[in-house]
Structures are given as structure tokens and as C-alpha cells.
Chains A and B, each alone.
Chain A
Amino acid sequence: MSATAGIAVHHHRDYTGSKIGMWLFLFTELLLFGGLFLLYSVYRAVHPEDFHHAAMELDKLVGTVNTLILLTSSLTMAVSIAAIHRARKGLSLVCLALTIGFALWFLVNKYFEWGAKFDHGIYPNSEILLQHSHGEILFFGLYFSMTGLHGLHVLIGAVVLFVVGIKLFKKPFETIEFDGRGLKQLTGARLAVVDERGGRLWSSDTIDDSVKAVEIRLKYHPVRKRVRKEDYAALENSGLYWHLVDLIWIFLFPLFYLIT
């Protein structure tokens, strides 16, 4: 297809539109967690002493380690997107795999953290917890529901990133459509496939007025150079979701683990 220079290759994609759609979704997520943060702050205002005592029982070290894990996963996510911008598919996929690895590590830590609480008899509606003061019961209720909902988001984020990564890894086909203007420029020409040294491997009939559309279907192996600018959207949007998960944790961490 290099024979016909100057043809506008038209991709039916809307960068800003897809970004707006993703951000609107993220806003609903922010309001969802915002409601829970509101609940937390109201109960904290009503039971300051109980929240203070209950927060002491949480393991600050696990919380800090999980914070570092999520911050670092945000870095690998951002680097993965920056790599795809530079058409470095290998680096992008490695960083994506690291991000998913950090997500799983976070969840494993969460599992042990919750497990330790369960071993001490602290879980929603447990007999030991019900003997605590009203405010402490509320604190642990909020702790389990908010970190639980956040953990669910971590899991969903990891699955989304995995799916996007697989798609990026495979990506064998791409259809390029010429717009009408491009077709007019093609009239009277032939399409040809040329090898590296300029040898003609195949050529089409002359394109005349009877041709209404030219469709070129390319099949290639997933070479890193083949990732196009337009392929960013899926990775960028799932990246935005991942950063949001990090953003929410940035507020969960001090509220549950630090303010004692």
C-alpha cells in the first residue's frame, strides 16, 4: 500500500468522546465512594473516641505496605501507557503484567489482614464485635464495607487490565478504511503489495469509477511497531480506572489506619 502516497487513512474513533465517557463513569464511582466517606465522617463526628480506639486495632504496617503497592502499580500503569505511545508493545505488556501482579499482591495482603481480624473474632455481626461499643461496631462495619468495596474494584481493575492486555497481545487484524477523498485519489491507480526491496508481490486491477469502496485487510504478527496511536483508548481508559482505585485508597488509608 506504499505505492499510493498521500491518502488520508480515516479511523472512526473519537478520542475526546471516549475520554468523556470514561470520566463520567469515574464520576459515578467517586460519588459512590463519596457517599460512604460522608457516612464515615458523620459517624466519626458522633463517636470520635470509639473510632479512635477501633482504628488502633488495625495494622498500620499492612496498610502502609498496601499503599506502597498501589502507588507503584499506578507507576507501572502509567509507564505501560507511555510505552504504547512510543509503540513499544513489549515494554507496555510487561508493565501491564506488573500492574496486575501488584493488584493481586494487594488482594493477598487484604486476605491475610481480614483473616487476622476474623481469627480475633472481629467480623460483621460477630459475638465478640457486638460486645464492643456502638461506635466501634460502626467503625468496623464501615471498615469491612469500604475496604471490601475497594477490594472488589481492585479485582475488577485487574480483570479489565488482563483482558485489555490479552487484546493488545493478540491484535492480529486491522481494517483500514479510506474515506471518499482518498478513493478519488486512487482512481486510475492500482493497489500493489511491494516487498522490502521494491519487488512487486501482487497488484490489483486498475481502480475506475465502478469501484465504490476499497477495503484493505491486513493480517500481521503482533510486532511492536504495529500498535497504532488509535489503540491507546482501551488501555488509557482502563488505566484511568486503575488510577481511580489508587486515588480512593489514598483517602481510605489515612481515614482507617492513620487517624488514631
Chain B
Amino acid sequence: MKKKHAEHENSGYGVYVVTWLALLILTAITVTVSGMNLGKVSVLTALAIATIKGSVVLAFFMHLKYEKPMFTVMFYIVLMTLAVFIGLTFFDILFR
């Protein structure tokens, strides 16, 4: 944990600039893809790219990569809770 914290303090400007560039590229991709008429696939690609972008923000900008693993576990618990709600709701909607 000590080592992780040291890493955290050392995470430099360069890492953030690269993170930012990656996010810009992903944005460019998602906007370009939305211009093509891919039908049903377009929803999936847009959400997939948004998920990648979100993970990058969480890992690097929000330091989840450098914090204790407990924070990531807590985050996944919240995500699972949300997934259960969404799953159960759609189970209801689709079979009504």
C-alpha cells in the first residue's frame, strides 16, 4: 500500500495529458461512428466507447488505479446494484 501511495503522488502531468489525448481520440471515434448508419450496432458502439471513456476517467483522473483496492470494490458494488435494478426493470418491461 505504501508503494501504491508513492505511485499516486508521482502520477505526473504526462500521465494526465496522455489520458486526456486518449479521451479526445475516443470522442472523435464515437462522433465519427455515429455519423455512419450502423443501425442497432450504433447504440452498442456508442455505449461501449462511453464505458471505455468512463473507465479511463475513473482509473486515471479519479485515481482509482492508485487508491487502495477497496475503493474499486466499493465502486463495483454500486455498479452491480445499478445493474440489478436495470436488469429487473427490463425483465418486467420486456415480458409484460
Contact = CB atoms under 8 A, between A and B. Distances in A.
Interface of A: 16, 19-20, 23, 27, 30-31, 34-35, 38, 41-42, 45-46, 60, 64, 67-68, 71-72, 74-75, 77-79, 82, 85, 240, 243-244, 246-247, 250-251, 253-255, 258-260
Chain A to chain B: the 9 pairs with minimum beta-carbon distance, closest first: A254-B46, A258-B34, A75-B20, A34-B82, A78-B16, A27-B78, A243-B61, A243-B62, A250-B53
B16 A240 contact: no
A260 B33 CA distance: 11
A82 B46 contact: no
Given A243-B62, A250-B53, 13 more contacts: A27-B75, A30-B78, A34-B85, A42-B90, A45-B94, A71-B20, A71-B23, A71-B27, A74-B23, A74-B57, A74-B61, A75-B19, A254-B49
A43 B19 CA distance: 34
Contacts of A46: 93
B9 to A, nearest CB: 5
B62 A240 contact: yes
A118 B32 CA distance: 28
Given A71-B20, A71-B27, A251-B50, A19 B11 contact: no
Nearest to A30: B78
Given A247-B54, A250-B57, A23 B31 contact: no
A16 B94 CA distance: 43
Contacts of A42: 89-90, 93
B50 A254 contact: yes
A213 B13 CA distance: 42
B31 A258 contact: yes
B78 A31 contact: yes
A42 B86 CA distance: 9
Interface in B1-37: 9, 11-13, 16-17, 19-20, 23-24, 27, 30-31, 34
A19 B20 contact: no
A60 B9 CA distance: 38
B30 A258 contact: yes
A23 B27 contact: no
A243 B68 contact: no
A251 B94 CA distance: 23
Contacts of A75: 16-17, 19-20
Contacts of B49: 254
Nearest to A232: B9
Contacts of A82: 11-13, 16
B30 A79 contact: no
